[in-house]
Amino acid sequence: MLYDSISFAKRRETAPHRRLLLKGLATLPLTLPFASARAATDNYQLKFRHTHTDEWLDVVYRDSLGYVKPAIKRINWLLRDFRSGEMTGMDPQLFDILHALSSKCGGNNTFEIISAYRSPDTNAMLRKKGRRGVARHSLHMDGRAVDVRLVGVDTVRLSAAAVALELGGVGYYPKADFLHVDTGDVRIWGAARS
């Protein structure tokens, strides 16, 4: 896990010093003692396994202070184009959608990553090979889409939960048994409407 606890012996410093200290610490993956009661309920955790690289990640990506930058970087690396090794900054709202799906479908399960970021070259190659569902201007190329399964949750149920969230695009691919979610406009294809 990406969190460490830090205790501050001098918590009663002058306000300007404390503000500077906290401003610098806001970007670090920490749980501050005075925020720990609230942070414990505001931690957004995700678990991943990439099906092509067999890499695993269990990370708190957001807390009461906002997105945790080192955690976001680790997720971005995991969700890189596994064919080319290229990485991009994924839209963090995508992680919020995945967290909401996990919560709605029963807790803290592992997302299996089928596809996430795709470089333009990879996207063009997949289109040339005739892969169904690969759009010319795919949101995968913008770091705004991911194709997943959720361990222990039927993909039809996951699909219905994603549609109910109304947070972006939802596409269900029953033959390949995965769900596409993105941070684009709300639209649905192949998915069960709730």
pLDDT given for residue 21 in this prediction: 37
Total-model pTM: 0.75
Q: What pLDDT was estimated at residue 124?
A: 86
Question: Each residue's pLDDT tens digit in the chain (194 positions)?
Answer: 444 332 223 223 333 333 333 344 344 443 333 344 344 457 899 999 999 999 999 999 999 999 999 999 999 999 999 999 999 999 999 999 999 999 999 867 999 999 999 998 888 888 777 666 677 678 999 999 999 999 999 999 999 999 999 999 999 999 999 999 999 999 999 866 65
3-class DSSP assignment, residue 64: coil
CA of 153: how far to CAs of 80, 87, 101, 130, 193, in Å?
A: 25, 29, 10, 29, 17
The pLDDT value recorded for residue 29 is 41
pLDDT at 22: 38
3-state secondary structure of 82: coil
Would you call 137 exposed, middle or buried from its count of C-beta atoms within 10 A (0-12, 13-18, 19+)?
A: exposed
Looking at residue 139, the DSSP 8-state letter turns out to be G
Give CA torsion, residues 87, 110, 152, 98, to 10 deg.
-60
In angstroms, rounded to a whole number, what is the distance separating the alpha carbons of residues 47 and 82?
18
